Homo-oligomer: A and B are copies of this chain.
Amino acid sequence: MKENCGVVGVFNVKEAGKILYLSLFSLQHRGQESCGFVLSDFKNVYIHRGMGLVEDVFSKVNFENIKGNFGIGHVRYSTTGSSSEKNIQPFVVEYKGKIYAIAHNGNLVNSYSLRKKLEEEGTLFQTTLDTEIIMHLIFKSKKNEFVEKLIDGLEKLKGAYSLVIFTEEGIYAVKDPNGFRPLCLGKLEDGYIVSSESCAFDLIGGEYLREIEEGEILFIGKNGLKSYYLKKNKISRCIFEFIYFARPDSKVFGKSVYIARKKLGERLAEELPFKGEIVIPVPDSGNIAAIGLAEKLKIPFEMGFIRNHYIGRTFIKPFQTSRELGVKIKLNVVPEVIKNKDIIVVEDSIVRGTTSTLRIKELRKAGVRKVYMAISCPPIKYPCFYGIDFPSKKELIASDKDIKEIREIIGLDGLYYLSLEGMLSAISLPSDEFCTACFTGNYSVETIDFKGKEQFEI
């Protein structure tokens, strides 16, 4: 089960309920399908989970009744077909009268074999979540202390996992030894907060401390912080967090996303083989790279697409078959800006190419002269097994088409993808510590894909 999510944990704060709610809201872009939290005031444990956006799921919670001092939360990404109530996280179990809960961002690559082995031993599964596998592995351990059991269980996992774990004594923040997904630590009130992205700290007045290390198991409890470590492995940070996934006002892996994106745009300017009169971004993901590009090229940056802010989940319902409308409804062209001009459109990436094709058609209808497209990463040719929900290889337009073919399909006068070197050079982290599998096919850990029988929750 692929998961592209956001996690958060807090310890020793006055109103953990509100804090978790606000943090999940800040991480909403990482997952809109479902969300939930588990928190405690050292006496009772409160659980609330539901399908939908943070605001909707928590709309009926009376936060005055569940203040709490520590807890964890999760937002889950909507992947087609697997949307289901039973898969809402955090995943909660009771073991010997105590509550444990896990929230997971990432994707295990050996989940199928782990699950099979557990079932042979008589273990039942109620969800299709990696987290359920992790929970069983922890409690099957013969070790006595929870942290020992935890290490025992985690050592069996392969793949991407940034976890926050709730116990009745405190919370754990865990990052896999490859360090695929971001997870950072901040100071908050007299306690701490961990979060997939640092933007969650800002709204609630947290102070950024550091990124969780690769293979680190950080316990936050009444005696403060205590770290344990898993066996080391090759570091493989997901570069796509910088390209697209994280918010520009976040730090991930210790670095500003905004600065990275602007540099991606500047680097694009250096490599770009064509010229234009103005630069326009595909908002909002292309905004910052476009600013960098325009500044470097010394040509005007214009907002040639205007975004409609009122689109909810059901808007398109009366027009189910019209993909075209679905695209137009999000962005509207400003004809006065682009008419009779040679323009460079900046986009973070091209996945299937269908949306881009429709966007370019709109620009042509509005009277653009020439339209070029600059992409702030190389062509995406391979699926991700570590947590990004790209479509299958077959659907990735760059998997079997060269740039000329893509340019023609989309209807462009020119198309340029940032080079791999260019992309890597734009971010001030070691190039060989990035996972670039979606561009290169070089997967840092083996991949096993599981396809079992579907179970429909209606």
Which residues of A are at the interface with B, using a C-beta cutoff of 8 A? 18, 21-22, 25-26, 28-29, 32, 44-48, 53-56, 58-59, 61, 63, 65-66, 86, 92-99, 116, 119, 122-126, 128, 135-136, 139-141, 199, 202-203, 247-249, 256, 258-259, 284, 287-288, 291, 295, 300-303, 306-312, 314-315, 317-319, 325, 328-329, 332-334, 336-337, 452-458
Find out whether the CB atom of B310 lies under 8 angstroms from the CB atom of A287.
no
- Identify A301's interface contact among B29, B98, B136, B301, CB under 8 A: B301
Find out whether the CB atom of B247 lies under 8 angstroms from the CB atom of A306.
yes
- Identify A55's interface contact among B119, B306, B310, B336, CB under 8 A: B310
- Identify A25's interface contact among B45, B303, B329, CB under 8 A: B329
Bound together, the chains give a CA A332 to CA B204 distance in angstroms of 11
Chain B residues, CB < 8 A from A258: 303, 334, 336-337
**CB proximity of A143 to chain B, nearest CB, Å:** 11
Find out whether the CB atom of A301 lies under 8 angstroms from the CB atom of B310.
no
Find out whether the CB atom of A318 lies under 8 angstroms from the CB atom of B61.
yes
* 8 A-B pairs with least C-beta separation: A256-B336, A93-B124, A249-B306, A28-B310, A63-B318, A249-B334, A55-B315, A249-B332
Chain B residues, CB < 8 A from A124: 93-95, 135-136, 139
Find out whether the CB atom of B312 lies under 8 angstroms from the CB atom of A287.
no
- Identify A119's interface contact among B56, B96, B202, B328, CB under 8 A: B96
Bound together, the chains give a CA A308 to CA B309 distance in angstroms of 10
Most B CB contacts (10 A, CB to CB) among A46, A116, A336 go to A336
Find out whether the CB atom of B203 lies under 8 angstroms from the CB atom of A248.
no
A–B pairs, 19, beta carbons within 8 Å: A18-B319, A22-B329, A25-B310, A47-B455, A47-B458, A61-B458, A65-B458, A94-B124, A94-B125, A95-B125, A96-B119, A98-B453, A99-B455, A122-B136, A124-B135, A248-B303, A249-B334, A258-B337, A287-B303
Bound together, the chains give a CA A457 to CA B101 distance in angstroms of 13
**A18-B319, A202-B332 given as contacts; is B457 within 8 A of A48 (CB)?**
yes
**A53-B310, A55-B312, A140-B122 given as contacts; is B332 within 8 A of A455 (CB)?**
no
Bound together, the chains give a CA A458 to CA B47 distance in angstroms of 6
**CB proximity of A198 to chain B, nearest CB, Å:** 10
Bound together, the chains give a CA A97 to CA B116 distance in angstroms of 9
With both beta carbons as reference points, the residue of chain B lying nearest to A302 in the complex is identified as: B291
**CB proximity of A428 to chain B, nearest CB, Å:** 12
Chain B residues, CB < 8 A from A92: 86, 126
With both beta carbons as reference points, the residue of chain B lying nearest to A136 in the complex is identified as: B124
Find out whether the CB atom of B125 lies under 8 angstroms from the CB atom of A46.
no
**CB proximity of A116 to chain B, nearest CB, Å:** 8
Bound together, the chains give a CA A336 to CA B288 distance in angstroms of 13
Find out whether the CB atom of B317 lies under 8 angstroms from the CB atom of A59.
yes
**A53-B310, A203-B332, A312-B53 given as contacts; is B93 within 8 A of A125 (CB)?**
yes
- Identify A21's interface contact among B54, B94, B199, B318, CB under 8 A: B318
Find out whether the CB atom of B333 lies under 8 angstroms from the CB atom of A249.
yes
Bound together, the chains give a CA A341 to CA B49 distance in angstroms of 43
